Amino acid sequence: QWPASTGVAVAVLILMLSVIVIFALPSFQKIQRLTDNLNRVTREHLTGLRVVRAYNADQYQEEKFGQANAELTNTNLFANRLMAMVGPGMTFIMSGLSVSIYWIGTYLINRAAVPDRITLFSNMVVFSSYAVQVVMAFMMVSMIFFLMPRASISAKRIMEVLNTESRIIDGHETAGEEGVMGQVEFRNVSFKYPDAEEPVLRNISFTAKQGETVAFIGATGSGKTSVINLISRFYDVTEGEVLVDGVNVRNYKQQTLHNKIGYVPQRAVLFSGTVASNVSYGDNGRAEVSEKLVKAAVEIAQGTEFVEKMDGQYQGRISQGGANVSGGQKQRLSIARAIYRQPEIYIFDDSFSALDYRTDRVLRSALKQETGHATTLIVAQRIGTIKDADRIIVLDQGEIVGNGTHEELMANCSTYQEIAYSQLSKEELVHGQE
Domain ranges within the chain, ordered by starting residue: 2-162, 184-433
Q: Encode pLDDT of 314-348 as tens digits.
A: 788 888 777 777 878 888 888 888 888 888 888 88
Q: Tell me the mean pLDDT in the region 36-50.
A: 85
The answer to whether 208 touches 390, Cβ cutoff 8 Å, is no
As a whole number, the mean pLDDT across the chain is: 80
Query: In the prediction, which pLDDT does 283 show?
Result: 65
**pLDDT above 90: percentage of residues in the chain:** 1
Helix axes 2-47, 86-111, angle to 10 degrees: 170
Query: In the prediction, which pLDDT does 287 show?
Result: 53
The answer to whether 224 touches 382, Cβ cutoff 8 Å, is no
Query: In the prediction, which pLDDT does 36 show?
Result: 82
> Positive or negative CA dihedral for 74, 80, 83, 86?
negative
The answer to whether 34 touches 71, Cβ cutoff 8 Å, is yes
Please state whether beta strands 345-349 and 375-379 pair in parallel, antiparallel, or not at all (unpaired).
parallel
Cα 364 to the center of its chain, rounded Å: 31
Query: In the prediction, which pLDDT does 18 show?
Result: 77
Q: Tell me the mean pLDDT in the region 260-276.
A: 83
Class of the domain covering 184-433: alpha beta
Range name among 277-286, 343-352, 358-367, 394-403 with the lowest pLDDT average: 277-286
Range name among 186-200, 203-217, 253-267, 354-368 with the lowest pLDDT average: 354-368
Q: Tell me the mean pLDDT in the region 242-269.
A: 85
Cα 312 to the center of its chain, rounded Å: 32
Q: Encode pLDDT of 346-357 as tens digits.
A: 888 877 776 777
Cα 270 to the center of its chain, rounded Å: 15
pLDDT band of 421, cuts 50, 70, 90:
confident
Query: In the prediction, which pLDDT does 434 show?
Result: 42
DSSP, residue by residue, 150-204 = HHHHHHHHHHHHHTPPPSS----B-S--TT--S-EEEEEEEE--TT-SS-SEEEE
pTM of the model: 0.70
Selected from 1.20.1560.10, 3.30.465.10, 2.50.20.10, 2.130.10.10, the CATH number assigned to the domain covering 2-162 reads 1.20.1560.10
- Kindly state the DSSP code that residue 208 receives in the 8-state scheme: E
Q: How far is residue 82's CA from residue 373's CA, in Å, rounded to a whole number? A: 70
The residue among 413 and 431 whose pLDDT is bigger is 413
Secondary element (H or E) of residue 243: strand 239-244
Of 261, 323, 236, 407, which Cα lies nearest the Cα of 46?
Answer: 323
Q: Tell me the mean pLDDT in the region 120-129.
A: 77
Q: How far is residue 96's CA from residue 102's CA, in Å, rounded to a whole number? A: 10
The radius of gyration of the chain's CA atoms, rounded to the nearest angstrom, is 35
Q: Any bridge partners for residue 274, and if so which?
A: 317
Query: In the prediction, which pLDDT does 70 show?
Result: 92
Range name among 124-133, 178-187, 385-394 with the lowest pLDDT average: 124-133
